[in-house]
């Protein structure tokens, strides 16, 4: 399971009930699942990767983020590498690196905001790197 324990996955999927989200039409997702996150991603600037989170750090952050957002993460993104980036304005942000993106500490990346996932209903996609801009 790519290093994620079964108990961690159980936490992700069973801690948050989706019973209030009964509408199965994707177009109604934002209405059916009111959450504190945008319906669509938006460009969020560029930054330099300062740290890659360990599996334990990532699981701890995931649990906190799901509570803040009020919904579980889209399961497609559970195993992505998490990175802390510093934007050009000095703000630090945690983003996910898409599978296949070979980026590390010191690399510059462009990224987008998190957003409401179209599927599965009532989950979210975290902030995600969209391009690697410069090597180490």
- Domain residue ranges in the chain: 6-16+43-134
29-82: pLDDT as tens digits? 455 566 567 888 999 999 999 999 999 999 999 999 888 888 899 999 999 999
pLDDT tens digits, residue range 17-32?
A: 333 443 343 344 455 5
Determine which helix (DSSP H) or strand (DSSP E) holds 58, and give its type and residue range: helix 55-69
Place of tokens 């790519």: 2
* Residue 26: strand, helix, or coil: helix
Q: Residue 134 — very low, low, confident or very high, per pLDDT cuts 50/70/90?
A: low
Per CATH, domain 6-16+43-134 is 3.40.50.720: no
pTM over the 0.85 mark? no
Mean pLDDT for 104-115 is 95
Please report the sign of the dihedral spanned by the C-alpha atoms of residue 130, residue 131, residue 133, residue 136. Answer: positive
CA dihedral 132, 40, 93, 12 (to 10 degrees): -110
């Amino acid at each position: 399971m790519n290093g994620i324990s079964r108990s961690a996955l159980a936490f992700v999927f069973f801690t948050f009930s989706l019973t209030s989200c009964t509408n199965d039409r994707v177009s109604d997702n934002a209405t059916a699942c009111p959450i504190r996150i945008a319906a669509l991603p938006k460009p969020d600037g560029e930054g330099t990767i300062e740290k890659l989170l360990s599996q334990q750090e990532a699981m701890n952050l995931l649990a906190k983020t799901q509570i803040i957002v009020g919904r579980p993460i889209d399961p497609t993104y559970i195993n992505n590498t998490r990175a802390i980036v510093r934007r050009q304005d000095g703000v630090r942000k945690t983003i996910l690196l898409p599978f296949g993106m070979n980026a590390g500490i010191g690399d510059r990346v462009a990224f987008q905001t998190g957003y409401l996932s179209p599927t599965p209903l009532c989950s979210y996609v975290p902030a995600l790197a969209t391009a690697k801009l410069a090597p180490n």
